[in-house]
């Protein structure tokens, strides 16, 4: 069928005489890719760049007449990030982890990242005000505060990382289960997750709470993940998701230590298949040299101790923590290869592709440029078997993959790389090619009617590496793997109101003066600070 574009939108018809035509016969056409979780901007990402000169000089992007130069394999510079996404047919990327205090820097880098529409999620799970409201059972007041915060930081969704654990980390401690007490606040991770889930519903935010679980990266943590999903079960109504578990691979570990480490993917998938209130993304491991970075300070410190690598641990005043450790995933490591298997097991055992999305938690489990390789594993058992033959014997013996025959079709790939993600994000004008959608279109050079992806997975992988055409907002921006028109995207943020007008108390301003290096008035990012502000009013 024909897809008709006018003024950056997909429309019913235009006058034919004037229209430029792209002949996509024999090719596969999809909406522009949408990435729900990819660390591309902000203080943490930039510190990762500073920490790793070796990551720069092994991957250099030369300038062209149209594009700027850049560097970086696992943490590419801003322009290179935009170009590489556009070449793969992605047009929207969500930056999932922003300390509120560092919102300004994050937006500066997002503005500097071309080719993509984007948004960013402020870290609110260990924010002092939130912890106090939840301790006092003041859900409505908390909702007011979160609405203010989304506006103040120009944020899109509530991000929760190791809830309570990051506050505990300020005292060199952590929490070990969702029922542990957070020091000094008299709340538990369960209270934080449930409380913010209620806040999310009160504000009617476009996305659900976005959760990096407690105990992430620790053997046996699949139990915590099950408890995390269970703890908001009763808050779900009308079959709608109320929680997103991000990079679930890192939270699906079985075993009591690294020697007995095994996959917990089956237990997670069984739960997800029986419950409709959860969405997840993969956090798929690829065998490569990459850079791990999360707000989960205690986890990153553990990873530093495990690897002995150079590292950064940082506390963002009273708000959150963070850490960065370079990391190489090796085929012959039983643990790494099992992690590789877990991500794919999750994607293949969870039946509904609308609820599990393709990510690598870029750059944590591998750079986003590895997506085409992951697509090949999803569509082809043969591709999985081939990798399987080269991994650690112990990992191979324990892997569930040999028992899984499922192979994704192209429709399922479209779902896990754009349609499902757009739906989970509440971006109604993304992820599809219906009338009214943004004219973001990817044309891949593979004939979906003739090619059996399970057999010709190499051709599929090649096709997803470089589009024949990437159309962004109605303009051809990439063609045959080359950027032909640099464009800058919009920044979505949520302009929510719960009770208006929200009264900022003198007490709140006083506390900003006392506890933060930035005063209340300077804390807020004015809308004029964003190059292309796209508020979503609720």
Q: Which residues, other chains included, contact 424 with Cβ-Cβ below 8 Å and sequence gap of 6+?
A: 36, 207, 208, 241, 244, 279, 355, 357
Stretch near Zn ion under the rule CB under 5 A, chosen from 16-24, 353-361, 452-460, 480-488: 353-361
The CB-of-396 to Zn ion minimum distance in angstroms stands at 28
- Kindly tell me which of 142 and 285 has the beta carbon lying closer to Zn ion: 285
The CB-of-317 to Zn ion minimum distance in angstroms stands at 21
Stretch near Zn ion under the rule CB under 5 A, chosen from 334-342, 356-364, 389-397, 419-427: 356-364
- Kindly tell me which of 191 and 361 has the beta carbon lying closer to Zn ion: 361
The CB-of-96 to Zn ion minimum distance in angstroms stands at 5
- Kindly tell me which of 35 and 407 has the beta carbon lying closer to Zn ion: 35
Coarse DSSP helix, strand, coil percentages of the chain, rounded to the nearest 5 percent: 40, 20, 40
- Kindly tell me which of 374 and 463 has the beta carbon lying closer to Zn ion: 374
Q: Is 361 in the site for Zn ion (CB under 5 A)?
A: yes
The CB-of-38 to Zn ion minimum distance in angstroms stands at 8
For residue 90, which phi and psi values (nearest 5 degrees)? -90, 140
Q: At what angle do helices 189-203 and 139-153 cross, to 10 degrees?
A: 70
Alpha-carbon distance 513 to 516, whole Å?
6
- Tell me the CA end-to-end span of the chain in Å, nearest whole number: 35
Collapsing DSSP states into helix, strand and coil, what is residue 465? helix
- Kindly tell me which of 55 and 361 has the beta carbon lying closer to Zn ion: 361
Which residue in this structure is represented by tokens 């095994």?
262
The CB-of-1 to Zn ion minimum distance in angstroms stands at 37
Question: x/- site string to Zn ion, residues 302 to 341, per CB under 5 A?
Answer: ----------------------------------------
- Kindly tell me which of 106 and 188 has the beta carbon lying closer to Zn ion: 106
Q: Total residues at the site for Zn ion (CB under 5 A)?
A: 1
What is the CB-side half-sphere exposure of residue 288 using CA atoms within 13 A?
A: 21
294: its two tokens: 């999360």
Which residue in this structure is represented by tokens 């004008």?
429
Residues 426-455 that bind Zn ion (CB under 5 A): none
Query: Strand 209-212 relative to strand 159-161: parallel, antiparallel, unpaired?
Result: parallel
The DSSP output letter for 529 is G
- Kindly tell me which of 361 and 407 has the beta carbon lying closer to Zn ion: 361
The CB-of-364 to Zn ion minimum distance in angstroms stands at 6
- Kindly tell me which of 144 and 281 has the beta carbon lying closer to Zn ion: 281
The CB-of-361 to Zn ion minimum distance in angstroms stands at 4
Q: Is 61 in the site for Zn ion (CB under 5 A)?
A: no
- Kindly tell me which of 111 and 361 has the beta carbon lying closer to Zn ion: 361
Stretch near Zn ion under the rule CB under 5 A, chosen from 336-344, 354-362, 455-463, 482-490: 354-362
The CB-of-491 to Zn ion minimum distance in angstroms stands at 19
- Kindly tell me which of 39 and 381 has the beta carbon lying closer to Zn ion: 39
- Kindly tell me which of 126 and 361 has the beta carbon lying closer to Zn ion: 361
Q: Is 144 in the site for Zn ion (CB under 5 A)?
A: no
The DSSP output letter for 357 is E
The CB-of-217 to Zn ion minimum distance in angstroms stands at 12
The CB-of-430 to Zn ion minimum distance in angstroms stands at 20
The CB-of-259 to Zn ion minimum distance in angstroms stands at 27
Query: For residue 76, which of 52, 50, 56 has the smallest C-alpha distance?
Result: 56
∠ CA 331-336-338, rounded to 5°: 100
Query: For residue 81, which of 29, 31, 46 has the smallest C-alpha distance?
Result: 46
For residue 82, which phi and psi values (nearest 5 degrees)? -60, -45
Stretch near Zn ion under the rule CB under 5 A, chosen from 66-74, 187-195, 225-233, 360-368: 360-368
- Kindly tell me which of 144 and 296 has the beta carbon lying closer to Zn ion: 296
Which residue has the closest beta carbon to Zn ion? 361
Q: What is the dihedral sign for C-alpha 517, 126, 147, 505?
A: negative
Stretch near Zn ion under the rule CB under 5 A, chosen from 23-31, 248-256, 272-280, 359-367: 359-367
Stretch near Zn ion under the rule CB under 5 A, chosen from 102-110, 154-162, 344-352, 358-366: 358-366
3: its two tokens: 């897809």
Stretch near Zn ion under the rule CB under 5 A, chosen from 336-344, 361-369, 440-448, 470-478: 361-369
Query: Do 26 and 299 touch, CB atoms closer than 8 A?
Result: no
Q: What is the DSSP string of 45-92?
A: HHHHHHH-HHHHHTSEE---SSS--EE-SSS--HHHHHHHHHHTTEEE
The CB-of-294 to Zn ion minimum distance in angstroms stands at 6
Alpha-carbon distance 19 to 383, whole Å?
41
Stretch near Zn ion under the rule CB under 5 A, chosen from 2-10, 259-267, 357-365, 485-493: 357-365
Alpha-carbon distance 28 to 414, whole Å?
11
Query: Do 201 and 238 touch, CB atoms closer than 8 A?
Result: no
Residue 289, burial from CB neighbour count under 10 angstroms (0-12, 13-18, 19+): middle
Collapsing DSSP states into helix, strand and coil, what is residue 402? helix
Alpha-carbon distance 375 to 479, whole Å?
21
376: its two tokens: 């090949």
Query: Do 286 and 370 touch, CB atoms closer than 8 A?
Result: yes
The CB-of-161 to Zn ion minimum distance in angstroms stands at 8
- Kindly tell me which of 292 and 470 has the beta carbon lying closer to Zn ion: 292
Q: Which residues bind Zn ion (CB under 5 A)?
A: 361
């Amino acid at each position: 069928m024909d897809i008709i574009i006018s003024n950056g939108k997909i429309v019913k018809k235009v006058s034919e005489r004037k229209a430029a035509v792209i002949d996509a016969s024999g090719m596969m056409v999809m909406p522009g890719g949408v990435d729900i979780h990819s660390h591309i901007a902000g203080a943490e990402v930039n510190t990762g760049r500073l920490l790793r000169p070796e990551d720069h000089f092994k991957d250099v992007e030369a300038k062209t007449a149209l594009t700027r130069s850049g560097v970086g394999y696992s943490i590419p510079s801003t322009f290179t990030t935009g170009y590489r996404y556009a070449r793969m047919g992605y047009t929207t990327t969500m930056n999932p982890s922003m300390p509120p205090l560092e919102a300004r820097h994050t937006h500066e880098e997002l503005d500097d990242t071309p080719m993509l529409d984007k948004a960013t999620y402020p870290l609110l799970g260990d924010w002092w005000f939130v912890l106090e409201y939840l301790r006092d059972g003041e859900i409505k007041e908390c909702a007011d505060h979160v609405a203010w915060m989304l506006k103040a930081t120009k944020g899109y969704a509530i991000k929760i990382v190791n809830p309570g654990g990051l506050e505990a980390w300020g005292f060199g401690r952590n929490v070990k289960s969702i029922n542990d007490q957070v020091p000094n606040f008299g709340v538990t991770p369960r209270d934080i997750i449930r409380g913010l889930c209620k806040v999310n519903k009160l504000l009617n935010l476009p996305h659900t709470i976005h959760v990096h679980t407690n105990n992430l990266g620790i053997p046996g943590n699949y139990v915590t993940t099950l408890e995390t999903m269970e703890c908001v079960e009763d808050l779900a109504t009308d079959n709608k998701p109320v929680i997103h578990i991000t990079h679930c691979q890192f939270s699906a570990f079985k075993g009591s230590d690294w020697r007995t480490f095994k996959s917990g993917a089956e237990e997670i998938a069984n739960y997800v298949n029986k419950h409709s209130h959860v969405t997840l993304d993969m956090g798929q491991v690829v065998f490569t040299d990459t850079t791990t970075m999360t707000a989960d300070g205690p986890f990153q410190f553990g990873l530093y101790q495990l690897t002995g690598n150079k590292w950064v641990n940082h506390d963002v005043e009273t708000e959150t923590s963070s850490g960065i450790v370079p990391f190489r995933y090796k085929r012959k490591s039983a643990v790494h290869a099992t992690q590789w298997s877990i991500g794919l097991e999750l994607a293949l055992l969870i039946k509904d592709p609308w609820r599990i999305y393709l990510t690598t938690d870029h750059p944590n489990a591998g750079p986003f440029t590895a997506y085409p390789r992951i697509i090949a594993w999803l569509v082809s058992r043969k591709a999985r078997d081939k990798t399987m033959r080269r991994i650690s014997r112990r990992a191979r013996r324990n892997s569930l993959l040999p028992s899984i025959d499922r192979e994704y079709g192209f429709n399922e790939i479209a779902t896990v790389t754009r349609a499902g993600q757009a739906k989970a994000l509440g971006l109604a004008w993304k992820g599809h090619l219906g009338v009214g959608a943004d004219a973001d279109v990817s044309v891949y050079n593979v004939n979906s009617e003739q090619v059996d992806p399970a057999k010709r997975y190499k051709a599929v992988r090649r096709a997803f590496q470089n589009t024949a055409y990437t159309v962004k907002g109605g303009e051809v921006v990439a063609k045959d793997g080359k950027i032909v028109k640099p464009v800058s995207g919009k920044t979505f943020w949520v302009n929510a109101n719960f009770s208006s007008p929200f009264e900022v108390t003198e007490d709140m301003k006083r506390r900003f003066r006392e506890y933060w290096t930035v005063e209340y008035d300077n804390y807020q990012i004015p809308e004029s600070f964003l190059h292309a502000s796209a508020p979503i009013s609720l």
